[in-house]
Amino acid sequence: MTPPSAPPTIDVSAGSPLATIAHPGSAVRHLRAAGVSIVLDCDGPRLPRVVHWGADLGDLDAATLQAIVRADVQAVVSNVPDRPITPSVLAEHATGWMGLPGLIGHRGGADWSTLFVVRSVATRVDLDGTQRVTVQAVDEAARLELGLVLELLRSGVLRMKATVTGSADADPDRPYTLDGLTLSLPVPRRAAELLDFTGRHLRERHPQRRAFDVGSWVRDNRRGRTGSDATVLLAAGTPGFGFGHGEVWAVHTAWSGNHRTVAERTPNGHALLAGGELLLPGEVALGPGDSYTSPWIYGSYGTGLDAVAGRFHRFLRDRPGHPATPRPVILNTWESVYFDMDLPTLLDLADHAAAVGVERYVLDDGWFVGRRDDHAGLGDWQVDPDVWPRGLHPLVDRVTSLGMQFGLWVEPEMINPDSHVARAHPDWILATGGRLPVESRHQQVLDLANPDAFDHILGSLDALLREYRISYLKWDHNRDLIDAGHRADGRPAVHEQTLAVYRLMDELRRRHPRLEIESCSSGGGRIDLEVLQRTDRVWASDCIDALERQTIQRYTGLLLPPELIGAHIGTDRAHTTGRRHNLSFRAGTALFGHMGIEANLARLSATERAEIADWVALHKRLRPLLHGGRVVRFDDVDPSLLVHGVIADDRSEAVISVAAVATADSAPTGRLVLPGLDPDALYDLALLPPGDMIQDEDGHRPQGNNHRLPPWLTTGIRLTGAVLGHAGVQWPELLPEQLLLLHARRV
């Protein structure tokens, strides 16, 4: 092996003129894309370190890059190691770093502190503009090899992952037990405030803020799925940062199993945002030649959260598999019929759905063998002949002959003890300690790392997709993983399970390339950037109450563009909260996402159905804008209002939703300022029907709307983008839980 002091070799192969890496021959890399700069010190022999992640620094020559690195070398102060501490993307204790180590593991208690030496650094630009730095390093004492990949994508999103490998000459009797691998990014001192998210079933992704003080803010997730409480982003920013102002740095751990996201500030002037998989004890042991690869850790920087989100949106829209067709309006049967399935009712629902403009009909839970309620049937993915003597054919035929696509609910990772498959293969259930895990929703989890169980589920789903014209799977996952071990030896199984689920989705999509998949997990419990590499929509929450949805969708939208967020019009009385809302509030809330309906249309009046049809028609008309434009959320509004909108990329048009979620602080609520339009252009701003209904307490439209509205709102107004963005327009007093839509069109 090469001695540790060998200088790093540099191999540069640029594939595209789309993006450039400044001075690739230098040991300091400068990656630039979409207003973001990353300066990466690859001078070796230690692992590379991000010296700057943030605003674009412009074109810099090699000498300046060296100077940036030099400018960042700390003074050696009293009572610290005699060499400055510079944590690399995989921070190592041996360098004097006292915070969370990037790599935690050991060989029977030895080799617990690594000190990798860089062997090679390669830099490349892909045809799509991705700039990639790949680093190979070795720790000869610990008998470990490390590969690091850092990419700056053309959206300005940065991502990193690492692979650790047991060296071929390591002692096979002393495997390396990997307890954790965390990759980190530095943020500057002025990023003094943290924002992250928590939640639960029916209340996902609610924000929480705190000062970014010395210490660690650790968001651990041991649910075996992404989790309703998972932080969609962990953001640090300048104090008071909002959607449109303040500098913000945010990370996302892209993993659908156990994971950890951390913000850590040390007393020695370092602040890091980090993420990685959370490994269970003994879950990964590396023998000679064995490798472990971490999830991608994503980072996005911007002025304001909307800019951070905009980069994630662009990244997702850049995916080769991003839906290219308009997002079909969905009817989902769950809250219409629940488990009470019969063919005439479902056919009737299909007729009504088509009549209001639905384009995809999704048959939810309850269609398979033994599934009359949530106690039985999971795992037996065959159509129940008692309910469907002719299979799903009569329903699929009607749905497709009405011009709609057909979608089907499945929960492939789950198994009810009361099922044929559980009785035949009790050893396929994840368990440890010689006992069965506590049930949750009466179900257990199938061990998909077991090849027989995997093949069985793959075969069952494949058979359904072959027999029926199924365009879409609503892929659910309705419990946390508890005591999830392989039955045979009890070893922890969450890591392998997570990989197996990805494999299952990948294989089904390979066999059925036009299949779309929705990621659902008791509502919004599996929303992360790795599952989104193989899914086309998420179900944001089981709570369809529009008031709750205003917040859930607002923050889900920090990661996902609207076209990926399932948003349905529910019944007037929300099933999960009991609140009643008028149609305008419900439909105006669902309008911006991947719209759907989750109500028994047959039970509504003809008038209500006609009104829903109007909203569906509006959605279809606006769809290219809603699902292609730039999302904005407004900071400076009355605290009773949530205001958001979408602005066309060329700023020719915008649709804005103003929703009152409480009684106003002041009435009327003062001026509403609409930033983001072209300052020099003239716009016509007006209410957008059917989202123009201001209603009184009884739901009536009083005196033709007028007495509650400022004069401009009854006629519309023509103003420049600069006036709208700085001076604004007077806003009326809305009753709580009312919503108005505004349309701005460039003249």
**Binding residues among 401-430 for ligand GLA as defined by CB under 6 A:** 409
Question: Is-contact 159 264, C-beta < 8 A?
Answer: no
Q: How many residues bind ligand GLA (CB under 6 A)?
A: 11
CB of 337 to ligand GLA, least distance (A): 11
Burial of 317 (0-12, 13-18, 19+ CB in 10 A): middle
Residues 280-319 binding ligand GLA (CB under 6 A) are none
CB of 676 to ligand GLA, least distance (A): 34
What is the nearest approach in angstroms of ligand GLA to the Cβ of residue 723? 44
Smallest gap from Cβ 178 to ligand GLA, in A, equals: 34
As measured in angstroms, the least distance from the Cβ of 592 to ligand GLA is 20
Here the tokens at position 664 are: 């106003």
Give the shortest CB-478-to-ligand GLA separation in angstroms.
5
Residue from 240, 268, 277, 286 nearest 96 by CA = 268
442-481: contacts with ligand GLA (CB under 6 A): 476, 478
Backbone angles phi, psi at 202, to 5 degrees: 75, 0
Site for ligand GLA in 69-108 (CB under 6 A): none
Nearer to ligand GLA, 179 or 365 (CB): 365
Phi and psi at residue 467, to the nearest 5°: -75, -40
Strand partners, 642: 659
Residue nearest to ligand GLA (CB): 365
Residue choice 539, 555, 634, 683 for contact with ligand GLA (CB under 6 A): 539
Q: State which of positions 350-369 bind ligand GLA (CB under 6 A).
A: 364-365
Nearer to ligand GLA, 217 or 381 (CB): 381
d(CA 391, CA 570): 29
User: Which has the closest alpha carbon to 305: 244, 251, 253?
Assistant: 244
- Identify the sign of the CA torsion 201, 312, 30, 13: positive
Q: For ligand GLA, give the closer residue by CB, 362 or 642.
A: 362
Site for ligand GLA in 151-180 (CB under 6 A): none
User: Cβ closer to ligand GLA: 120 or 576?
Assistant: 576
Burial class (CB in 10 A: 0-12, 13-18, 19+), 466: exposed
| Member of 97, 296, 334, 475 binding ligand GLA (CB under 6 A) | 334
Using the minimum distance from each CB to ligand GLA, give the nearer residue, 231 or 522. 522
Q: Cβ closer to ligand GLA: 294 or 541?
A: 541
The answer to whether residues 641 and 669 touch, using CB atoms and an 8 Å cutoff, is yes
Cβ-in-10-Å burial (0-12, 13-18, 19+) of 360 comes to buried
Q: Is 476 a catalytic residue?
A: yes
- Is 542 a known active-site residue? yes
Please list every residue from 475 through 534 that binds ligand GLA, using CB under 6 A: 476, 478, 520, 522-523
Cβ distance to ligand GLA smaller for residue 98 or 482:
482
In the chain, the amino acid numbered 83 is R
Among 496, 530, 542, 653, binds ligand GLA (CB under 6 A): 542
DSSP string of 338-405, one letter each residue: TT---HHHHHHHHHHHHHHT--EEEE-S--BTT-SSTTS-TT--SB-TTT-TTTTHHHHHHHHHTT-E
State in angstroms the smallest separation of the CB of 294 from ligand GLA: 29
Smaller CB separation from ligand GLA, 258 or 333: 333
Q: Is 556 in the site for ligand GLA (CB under 6 A)?
A: no
Residue 34, phi-psi category: left (phi > 0), alpha (psi -120 to 50), beta (remainder): left
Is the bond leading into 451 cis (omega within 30 degrees of zero)? no
Q: How far apart are CA 541 and CA 552, in angstroms?
A: 8
Catalytic residue among 139, 179, 542, 545: 542
The identity of residue 31, as a single letter, is: L
Question: Which residue out of 139, 196, 476, 638 is catalytically annotated?
Answer: 476
The least distance separating ligand GLA from the CB of residue 256, rounded to whole angstroms, comes to 16
641-658: b or e for each residue (b if 16 or more CB lie within 10 Å)? Answer: bbbbbbbbeebbbbbbbb
Compare residues 104 and 538 and give the one whose CB is closer to ligand GLA. 538
Min dist CB 279 to ligand GLA, Å, is 28
Residue 368 half-sphere exposure, CB side, CA atoms within 13 Å? 24
How far apart CA 321 and CA 81 sit, in angstroms, is 49
- What are the residues binding ligand GLA (CB under 6 A)? 334, 364-365, 409, 476, 478, 520, 522-523, 539, 542
What are the catalytic residues? 476, 542
